[in-house]
Amino acid sequence: MPGLTSKILERLTAPTDGSQYTLLFDGELPGFGARITAAGVISFTLDYRIRGRRRRYTLGRWPELPVLAARNEAIELRQRIRNGVDPAAERERQRLKNPTMRDLARDYLSRYAAEFKRPKSVREDRRLFENIIGPRLGRQPVAAVTRTDLENLHRTLRATPYQANRVLALLSKAFGLAIEWGWREDNPARGVKNYGEQKRHERWLNREEIRRVLGVLRNFSDQQSANALRLLLYTDARKYEALTARWEDFDFDGGRWTKPSHRTKQKRTETIPLSRVALWLLKRMRRGAAEPPSGWLFPERKADTHQEDLKGAWGEVRKLAKLDAVRIHDLRHTFASHLVSSGESLPVVGRLLGHTQAATTMRYAHLADQALREAVNRFGRRPQR
């Protein structure tokens, strides 16, 4: 078996059972391997035996930790193990002495977030820990943090209520894990009140606005980003689902797109039917591929991975199409709103959008009422016999 490489890791398939993981060992360095969870998170591990006991040590998460750096760290650890040092026990002893909030942040990210949250959410959690929580509470022992400490931190963020509440929610989850890990007995975030948040007005494009967007995309300089935006407009996909899509996810004969569980928000496999225009777009993209299509639909140009974002492209498209305050996510609202307005039922739309709660789809209820009213009016216009 060859040694682990980035290309091999990109091809790893996540297990379908959320409680399981798949472990792939390196063919060159004994005990060194990579683990992929059902959420699609890949981490490097080192299996070893010391004093007759089998142990597993987690090195870090890929791609934040490159393959070469992980391999070098594993080599150094193997040397320490030969000298009688148990790195897993050493790490545990150090943390159990008196873990600080920095320790809690590190363990939250590696033991929980990396396993169960999407990469984008992990990056946001890390940002909040590093930029907001760490500077204020990082050196404080986990067991010594009080509700007053969290209220004071929350209060310093009152000018940005949304961010203040996200910090509070993150701390509440982290302290909940600290209780499970035996680091403290209560959750100091419990009872701290959230600030009121002004609900953002939901926006979707009307037919004229869609026509303007498609006109801009037709002559847009970056046609790969243009195709990604078209796919969002023609389907129910979230941005992350589209950018991480692979050609093998699509059944062109059956007209279906299967989204693997580790690439969906709900962490479950979703199979959706594709419209004629979506299939037309995908077939055109496949014909225009420089090579036989394999791998990512939207590859990164300078690396063997997928395109990371569409923010810059969408900002330019939105400006050229003369649209104000329209987010990329509003393209998903546009797809749903036009389905409902045309008379499609809320349960069907909810299934297409991958909603697990009917209440999530109820935001489109007024459009459904409008479609029903138009149907009643059409009946009322029939001549009476």
DSSP secondary structure letter of residue 246: B
Lowest-pLDDT range, 126-135, 153-162, 208-217, 365-374? 365-374
Of 303, 304, 336, 379, nearest to 232 by C-alpha is: 336
Cβ burial of 372 (10 Å; 0-12, 13-18, 19+) is: exposed
Q: How far is CA 11 from the centre of its chain?
A: 18
Confidence of residue 33 (pLDDT cuts 50, 70, 90): very high
Predicted confidence band of residue 272 (pLDDT cuts 50, 70, 90): confident
Minimum mean pLDDT range among 4-18, 202-216, 309-323: 202-216
Most confident of 12-26, 67-81, 291-305, 348-362: 67-81
Q: What is the pLDDT of residue 293?
A: 55
Residue 226 pLDDT more than 60? yes
Look at residues 275, 277, 276, 273 and name the one whose alpha carbon lies nearest to residue 351. 273
313 with 296: CB under 8 angstroms? no
Domain 101-180 shares a fold with domain 207-379: no
pLDDT at 288 over 80: no
Q: Looking at the predicted structure, is the pLDDT value of residue 164 above 60?
A: yes
CA distance 102 to 42: 23
pLDDT in tens, 69-124: 999 999 999 999 999 999 988 887 776 678 999 999 999 999 999 888 877 888 89
Q: Give the model's pLDDT for residue 200.
A: 57
Give the pLDDT of residue 37: 86
Q: Does the pLDDT value for residue 220 go beyond 90?
A: yes
In 3D, which of 195, 209, 189, 104 has the Cα closest to residue 147?
Answer: 189
Domain 6-96: give its CATH architecture.
Answer: 2-Layer Sandwich (3.30)
DSSP for 60-75 reads EEETTS-HHHHHHHHH
Tokens read off for 248: 């093998």
CA-based torsion, 169, 155, 109, 259: positive or negative: positive
Phi and psi angles of residue 384, each rounded to the nearest 5 degrees, phi first: -85, 140
CATH number among 1.10.443.10, 3.30.365.10, 3.40.50.11810, 3.20.20.70, domain 207-379: 1.10.443.10
Domain residue ranges of the chain, discontinuous segments joined by +: 6-96, 101-180, 207-379
Model confidence band, residue 230 (pLDDT cutoffs 50, 70, 90):
confident
pLDDT recorded at residue 40: 84
Higher pLDDT, 174 or 265: 174
pLDDT given at position 366: 42
Using one digit for the tens of pLDDT, what is the confidence trace for 135-153? 999 989 999 999 999 999 9
Average pLDDT, the chain: 82
DSSP 260: P
The reported pLDDT for the residue numbered 372 is 40
* Predicted TM-score (pTM) above 0.85: no
CB 223 within 8 A of CB 230: no
Q: How far apart are CA 126 and CA 131, in angstroms?
A: 8
Q: What is the DSSP letter of 364?
A: G
- 337-360 pLDDT, tens digit each: 544 444 444 454 445 444 445 444
* CA 302 and chain centroid, separation: 22
Q: Which residue has the higher pLDDT, 290 or 39?
A: 39
Q: Which of 113-117, 157-161, 219-223, 270-274 has the lowest mean pLDDT?
A: 270-274
Query: CA-to-CA distance for 191 and 176, rounded, in angstroms?
Result: 13
- The residue-averaged pLDDT of 354-373 equals 44
Confidence of residue 328 (pLDDT cuts 50, 70, 90): confident
**Class of domain 101-180 (CATH, top level):** mainly alpha
> Which amino acid is it at 318?
R
- pLDDT at res. 17: 66
In the beta sheet, which residues pair with residue 60? Answer: 44
Which of 58-72, 195-209, 322-336 is most confident? 58-72
